[in-house]
Amino acid sequence: MSLLTNDWSYVYFIAQSSSSSSIGDLIGLIIGIAIYAFVSYCFQKIYQKLGEPNAWFAWIPILNNWIMYKAGDQSPWWIIGLFIPLINFVALIILLVALINIVKKLDKNPWLIILMIIPLVNFWVIYHFAF
């Protein structure tokens, strides 16, 4: 029985938090909001360049994929496929094709999309596409 008691005390110990983590959480939240605002603003500018009437969809989490499919000349109904297991891989590939089409419409090099997997460089790439 002591083994079971020790396991529960370990879980109780792990569940405790310190006050310093709340400051880190707040900083992480602020940085996350700033990144989301930057990326949404850049995509809104991209959609405005492409003449999309609802460029503000870039700010709304699911609608931003809808407008990307639409601006990339793909069926926006693929957004439903993003929520279905295994089909979401196909929908994601089609979303990538839509992004490539968007970049081509902007007369930019589509190979720059590969740089978006590199942290911090991806912000420059999105900024480059937007402006």
Residue 43: both structure tokens together:
């995509």
In three-state secondary structure terms, 41 is helix
Say if CB 124 and CB 111 are below 8 A apart: no
pLDDT of residue 17: 54
pLDDT of amino acid 118: 93
Of 63, 53, 71, 70, nearest to 129 by C-alpha is: 71
Nearby residues of 18 by Cβ (< 8 Å), 6 or more positions away:
none
Name the residue range of residue 118's domain.
2-130
8 A C-beta contact, residue 34 and residue 121: no
Whole-number pLDDT of residue 22 = 87
Domain total for the chain? Answer: 1
User: Higher confidence at residue 67 or residue 13?
Assistant: 67
Q: What are phi and psi of 125, to 5 degrees?
A: -65, -45
pTM of the model: 0.78
Residues 78-112: tens digit of each pLDDT: 999 999 999 999 999 999 999 999 999 999 999 99
Torsion of CA 58, 64, 67, 71, to 10 degrees: 80
Q: What is the pLDDT of residue 71?
A: 95
